[in-house]
Amino acid sequence: MNEVPDMIEWSPLTLTYVEYPKGDVIGKLLALISLTPFGVLIGFVTLILFRRDLHTVSFLLGLLLNEVINMVLKYIIQEPRPLRAHIDKVSVPYGMPSSHAQFMWFFSTYIFCFVVVRLRYNNSSYKYESYWKGFIVLSSLFLTCIVSYSRVYLLYHTWNQILYGALIGCVLAAGWFLVIQFILTPLFPLITQWRISEVLMIRDTTLIPNILWFEYTHCRQETRARSRKLVSMKSQ
């Protein structure tokens, strides 16, 4: 068994390293909530693997582009984070603009645009549609505000860094939504015809107004049809 030399200095993985005041229950909760962007990215990867929808892929590409722009701005502006102990453990020493705020406000702004513009079910029979649409928008906005506040509470950012991050995230999200809506979406039918799209089962659900209801009804119809066929085969 190999012995670990005492001279080796160990350090945490700073990608998800978040500190909070010891014994502060609110600080611990906010530290956990501040990890929301990582949960969002994991959710996107999972969603893409199971649904293979081009719009979801485009949304994720916008989030990644938003992160690249944030990193570039940080190293151009080079405004330091608030002074506190152990701030040197943060992977990026600069805090303007806040990456958490920019990420979450990009996410919530895009969700708002998507719900308002894309989810207009003129022929929908679901009477509670407006309620769940409002719930989606308000819950994403509420979570975004909490994540933004957590970065100030935990002294990772100043309010100016949060506000500028939020502003940049909103502008980029609105711009990216317009790019997808008017430039990329018309190309989706062509992209789905590519050989690689067929192999990966990439699909375009833009023209389907309510994808959940569409999949539910078709799954139910297929199940009933197969059940009738199975009964017919058994009776012969």
DSSP string for the chain: -PPPPTTPPP---TTS-----TT-HHHHHHHHHTTHHHHHHHHHHHHHHHH-BHHHHHHHHHHHHHHHHHHHHHHHH-PBPPP-TTGGGSS--B-SS-HHHHHHHHHHHHHHHIIIII---TT---TTHHHHHHHHHHHHHHHHHHHHHHHHHTTSS-HHHHHHHHHHHHHHHHHHHHHIIIIIGGGHHHHHTSHHHHHHT-B--TT-S-HHHHHHHHHHHHHHHHHHHHHHHHH-
Higher-pLDDT residue of 161 and 218 is: 161
Return the pLDDT at 90.
63
Instruction: Determine the average pLDDT of the residues in 102-128.
Output: 78
Q: Which of 73-77, 131-135, 210-214 has the highest mean pLDDT?
A: 73-77
Region 165-172: what's the mean pLDDT? Answer: 96
pLDDT for residue 224: 81
User: pLDDT tens for residues 77-100?
Assistant: 988 888 765 565 666 778 899 999
Backbone φ and ψ for 59, nearest 5 degrees, come out as: -60, -45
Alpha-carbon distance of 229 to 235, in angstroms, equals: 10
pLDDT at 123: 47
In whole angstroms, what is the distance from residue 236 CA to residue 232 CA? 7
Residues 6+ away with beta carbon under 8 Å from 100: 34, 37, 147, 148, 150, 151, 156, 157, 165
Give 22's pLDDT tier (boundaries 50, 70, 90): confident
> Which amino acid would we find at residue 160?
N
Classify residue 141 as exposed, middle or buried by CB count within 10 Å of its CB (0-12, 13-18, 19+): middle
- Cα separation, 148 vs 170, in Å, equals 13
The answer on pLDDT for 156 being more than 50 is: yes
Separation between Cα atoms, residue 219 and residue 227, nearest integer Å: 12
Tokens 């909490």 — which residue? 146
Percent of the chain with pLDDT over 70: 82
- pTM for the full model? 0.82
Q: How far apart are CA 130 and CA 185, in angstroms?
A: 25
Please check the confidence at residue 11 and state whether its pLDDT lies above 50: no
Q: Which has more pLDDT, 146 or 221? A: 146
Beta bridge mates, 203: 53
